[in-house]
Amino acid sequence: MRFLHTADWHLGRILHGVSLLDDQRYTLDGFCDVVRDVRPDAVVISGDVYDRAAPPADAVAALDEFLTRLVMERRVRVIAIAGNHDSPERLAFGSRVLSSGGLDVVGPLAAEPASILLADTKPQVRFWAVPYAEPPSIATLLDDDSIRGHEAAMCRLLDRIRERKTDGERSVLVAHAFVAGGSVSESERPLSVGGTGAVAAEAFHGFDYVALGHLHRPQSLDGGAIRYSGSLLKYSFNEWEQPKSVSLVEIPESGPARVEEIKLPIKHDLRKISGTLDQLLSTVPAVGRDDYIWADLLDATPVYNAVERLRSIYPNIMYAARLQTAIPAGNGDGPRPDPSRHTLSQLFHMFYKEINGEELSEAHTAVLTGLIEEFERTREGR
């Protein structure tokens, strides 16, 4: 039995003021091609389908389009849950009607987590769906005031599932959570403050595969049984070197699940470049000009209108700024200079070195000296 595990589509995402919906549509077109070629028994979407609880109309239309293609054209079963970015009620609208057609959307969490049995596969596999919910909501749902924090809440829900599991039946958990030890990215919204949203990997023991959403870097934990498929696209520039993929999961009749990463096509990559403005303007890359670009400028002096000037080379540039030279260790840690004991020239030299990590050149010193002398003459003539 094989299924595709994906998550964190974040339809409607905006990056540096640019809507990524066209990029998301492009990649989802490629996802549909993967479904056509692989012919999985199911597609699992582990939460954060939308980027916000009240998604824009074009994001809703995009989801409708691709779910229709998967379920009606590809005839593949789709199982989706709500993540912390989704509105469970909005996402699950019409779910009881749609389930009869092969689309199972689990929005609001129930006291008895939903299960979906794929009886026509070999082996038969039961999917247990645990959409995201805040611990206080779970405590109220289960009428248990002793539940504190994400780990306690998840453990209680998983205990209820284990009470209902059938011996010998292969099982997959679909959830949206932060597992301790997972590698985070800048574009994820923390589930709580101070790391209290983490759930220990040991809490998920007893399932043949745990299909998780929330962390945007594709990664496996606990020997591979727990996996984040990662986000559909790169959603921050600190992810620019992260490969994105969808996970093809095979559940055999016995033994551990097997996972294969399948890369998806992208319309515009995210990329960081660096150099002086003149260097970047004089170098036209052979490929990647249409990428979304973050430029770190290495100029020693301020640069103006860098984004607009670089747009002639990189039409989709999103950010450009002068990267300050790293300050040597120890600088700035000692007492501040006393202006009454230093000349204006000495103060400027110390300031320049602290900011740029190097001494002012002889040429710049000569310019500084001339400016200070002109300032002193002007002040004396008042």
pLDDT of residue 192: 60
d(Cα 78, Cα 68) in Å, to the nearest integer? Answer: 10
**Cβ neighbours, 10 Å, residue 37:** 9
Q: How far is CA 1 from CA 195, 355, 375, in A?
A: 36, 60, 81
**Terminal alpha carbon distance of the chain:** 89
User: For a pLDDT cut of 90, what percent of the chain falls above it?
Assistant: 74
Six-digit token string for 96: 């009881």
Residue 230 confidence (pLDDT) above 70? yes
Position 324 confidence tier, pLDDT thresholds 50, 70, 90: low
**185-194, 224-233, 236-245: which has the minimum mean pLDDT?**
185-194
SS3 331: coil
User: Averaged over 368-380, what is the pLDDT?
Assistant: 79
Residue 190 confidence (pLDDT) above 80? no
pLDDT of residue 112: 92
Phi, psi dihedral angles at 30 (to 5 degrees) = -65, -35
Torsion of CA 98, 99, 104, 109, to 10 degrees: 100
Residue 174 confidence (pLDDT) above 60? yes
d(Cα 113, Cα 164) in Å, to the nearest integer? Answer: 10
Residue 350 DSSP label: H
pLDDT of residue 223: 87
Position 8 confidence tier, pLDDT thresholds 50, 70, 90: very high
pLDDT of residue 3: 98
User: Averaged over 199-217, what is the pLDDT?
Assistant: 96
Position 360 confidence tier, pLDDT thresholds 50, 70, 90: confident
pLDDT of residue 382: 56
Position 303 confidence tier, pLDDT thresholds 50, 70, 90: confident
User: Averaged over 109-118, what is the pLDDT?
Assistant: 94
d(Cα 88, Cα 53) in Å, to the nearest integer? Answer: 8
Question: Which residues make beta-bridge pairs with 129?
Answer: 114, 174
User: Averaged over 81-94, what is the pLDDT?
Assistant: 96
Residue 314 confidence (pLDDT) above 60? yes
d(Cα 216, Cα 199) in Å, to the nearest integer? Answer: 17
CATH of domain 2-263: 3.60.21.10
Six-digit token string for 26: 């492009």
Q: What is the DSSP string of 14-44?
A: EETTEE-HHHHHHHHHHHHHHHHHH--SEEE
82 and 107 Cβ atoms separated by less than 8 Å: yes
Position 373 confidence tier, pLDDT thresholds 50, 70, 90: confident
pLDDT of residue 326: 42
Q: Which residues contact 209 (CB under 8 A, 6 or more apart)?
A: 172, 173, 225, 227, 249, 251, 257
Position 286 confidence tier, pLDDT thresholds 50, 70, 90: confident
HEC string of 36-86 equals HHHCCCEEEEECCCECCCCCCHHHHHHHHHHHHHHHHHCCCEEEEECCCCC
Average pLDDT, the chain: 90
pLDDT of residue 87: 97
pLDDT digits (tens, 9 = 90+) for 126-140: 999 999 999 999 999
Burial of 43 from C-beta contacts in 10 A (0-12 / 13-18 / 19+): buried
Domain ranges for the chain: 2-263, 270-322, 339-380
pLDDT digits (tens, 9 = 90+) for 39-78: 999 999 999 999 999 999 999 999 999 999 999 999 999 9
**75-89, 247-261, 336-350: which has the minimum mean pLDDT?**
336-350
**19-33, 50-64, 90-104: which has the minimum mean pLDDT?**
90-104
